[in-house]
Amino acid sequence: MRTNTHNRKIDVYRRNDNRRTDAYNRRINSNKKRKKVLRKRKAILRIMFLSVFCVVLFYFGRTIANLDLLSNNTEIGSNIPASIQINTNKAKKIINTNKSDSSTWNLILVNNDHLIDEDFEVTLTNLKNGHSVDSRIYDDLQKMMNDARKNGLSPLICSSYRTYEKQSELYNEKADYYRGLGYSEEESLKKAANWVAAPGTSEHQLGLAVDIVSLNYQMLNDDQENTKEQKWLMEHCHEYGFILRYPKDKIDITQVGYEPWHYRYVGYDAAKEITEKGLCLEEYLEQK
């Protein structure tokens, strides 16, 4: 009898023991499952973070490439070189005729009403970074960049000469984008022109315009005007024959949005007068 009672007690202990072991195993398994779920969540979060990062990066890339109405050069980050190499492209031919100034190379007017001929050619000076400008403005441009640097600034040329083909390519890419969204042909071209100058209407095709940004702030938007570099350039560019071509108070005349980075070479005299009188190039040429 005692033995039976003893055995029952042992059975009870064993059952309890087994229950404890089962509970322990369940706990271990549930811990494992929890860790697995956590690992999965972490992986998903990591992927989501990377995706968001890529989207943000892509968006900023597009912003930089698109906001400049007359330029779509993606070579932001390049610098004006110390040494140069001269190209031997041939003479120029333009259908652009602006009153008596059509013969004055540095005062050629290019806008929606004054187009550059498809065959326009210019003698270029190549900059080390793949950029190039009309050889005649190189010295002044280089001097302006050097002087800015002497003042502790970090200006960066991000867009310069562009061929007619390149401009067409950029314009068509943008128009294609709107065609893809279902806009009519006319609407697509019109909308594209808000972002990229139509072929023949970009000063960059002359080799007389450069887009300069601050090394520390390379976004092509209104805030560019607040950089030390733009403040200095806006104040001093006329001393080197340049003007800020698309001021914010002349949008109705230039038909181009404010671009606190687009500098156009017009020569010392014109730059001085345009700056002193607060004109834009259209107004200056009109009063001549």
The residues carrying an active-site annotation are 259
Enter the DSSP assignment of 142: H
Q: Which two tokens stand for residue 130?
A: 């793949």
How far apart are alpha carbons 130 and 247 in whole angstroms?
28
Establish if 211 lies at the interface with Zn ion (CB under 5 A): yes
DSSP-derived 3-state class of residue 17: helix
43-72 binders of Zn ion (CB under 5 A): 70-71
How many DSSP H helices and E strands does the chain contain? 8, 7
**Per-residue x/- marks for Zn ion, 68-107, CB under 5 A?**
--xx------------------------------------
Establish if 274 lies at the interface with Zn ion (CB under 5 A): no
HSE-CB of 89 using CA atoms within 13 angstroms: 18
| Number of residues near Zn ion (by CB under 5 A) | 4
- Cα–Cα–Cα angle for 220, 54, 261, rounded to 5 degrees: 5
**Per-residue x/- marks for Zn ion, 251-270, CB under 5 A?**
-----------x--------
How far apart are alpha carbons 18 and 8 in whole angstroms?
15
Q: Which two tokens stand for residue 152?
A: 């502790």
Interface with Zn ion by CB under 5 A: which range of 53-61, 106-114, 183-191, 208-216? 208-216
Per-residue b or e along 24-33, where b marks 16 or more CB atoms closer than 10 Å to that residue's CB:
eeeeeeeeee
Handedness of CA 232, 235, 241, 246 (dihedral sign): positive
Considering beta carbons, is residue 90 or 202 the nearer one to Zn ion?
A: 202
Considering beta carbons, is residue 36 or 62 the nearer one to Zn ion?
A: 62
Considering beta carbons, is residue 166 or 179 the nearer one to Zn ion?
A: 166
Considering beta carbons, is residue 183 or 217 the nearer one to Zn ion?
A: 217
Sheet holding 132-134, edge to edge: 85-86, 124-126, 132-134
Establish if 250 lies at the interface with Zn ion (CB under 5 A): no
144-183 binders of Zn ion (CB under 5 A): none
Considering beta carbons, is residue 164 or 183 the nearer one to Zn ion?
A: 164
What's the min distance (Å) between Cβ of 262 and Zn ion? 4
Q: Which residues bind Zn ion (CB under 5 A)?
A: 70-71, 211, 262
